[in-house]
Amino acid sequence: MEKPIMLALDFADFKQVEQFLESFSNPGDLTVKIGMELFYQSGPQVVKTLKARGCKIFLDLKLFDIPHTVEKSMERIGELGVDYVTAHTLGGSEMLTAAKRGLIAGAKRVNQPVPDLLGVTILTSCSKETLANELNCKLAMADQVVSLAKLAKQSGCDGVITSALELPMLTKEVGTDFKYVVPGIRMKQDAVGDQKRVATPEIAKQTGAFAIVVGRPVTQSENPVAAYRRYRANWNLEGE
């Protein structure tokens, strides 16, 4: 079964989203990521509209608050019928457990499947220097990501968001029965931008990724469909 490429719809408003999706002959085949910029501008209606088009929805709001607030927020998200949603693992086990409980309650209320809960570990824009010198983390990057992934798994998450660089250690220490979703994906010829820990789609797949997230290299391309096909072809190379 083909693993998903999650297209990050990092646009300022839904009109730009519609213009982008019109480039594709069948946008209902896409898995799309709705992040904070678009959601805060357009609200839940953007989820409902894209879901009606047939898109699979990754709602990436990175919830991080006290357990009660996160649980009640996740109930509302569970009612939207999205496929994937995120919460920060740094919120701790109580918050993550509450997040999953809220998703289950919300989805049950509207008779929808429970979305996969993905724990955000360390952002791919975060360098090892930032981790050590600003966040005062005593662990090395890979060790910190593994520690947070273990916490996520024990707390009921279905997977984590992680860079491809930590995947070999994650699959070994956390297991292959967990979904690893990898942002920071760039082909060698594409600009890295503000990402610090990047990898190609092929490398992500070979090291155990369940899905990859691709944004600006596709959405800001002069030919988005061609760029998407290029990433999809590299993602689906055999040899993993």
Task: Establish whether 62 is a catalytic residue.
Answer: yes
Phi and psi of 159, rounded to 5°?
180, -175
Nearest residue to 77 (alpha-carbon basis) of 49, 43, 54: 43
Closest to 23 (Cα-Cα) out of 222, 235, 233, 230: 222
C-alpha closest to that of 178 among 198, 206, 151: 151
Query: Regarding beta strands 31-34 and 5-8, do their DSSP bridges make them parallel or antiparallel, or are they unpaired?
Result: parallel
Q: Which of 3, 56, 62, 128 is catalytic?
A: 62
What one-letter code names the amino acid at 138?
K
- The rounded distance, in Å, linking the Cα atoms of 197 and 130 is 13
Place of tokens 């609200």: 43
Residue with tokens 């060790």: 143
- Cα 172 from chain centroid (whole Å): 21
What residues are annotated to the active site? 62
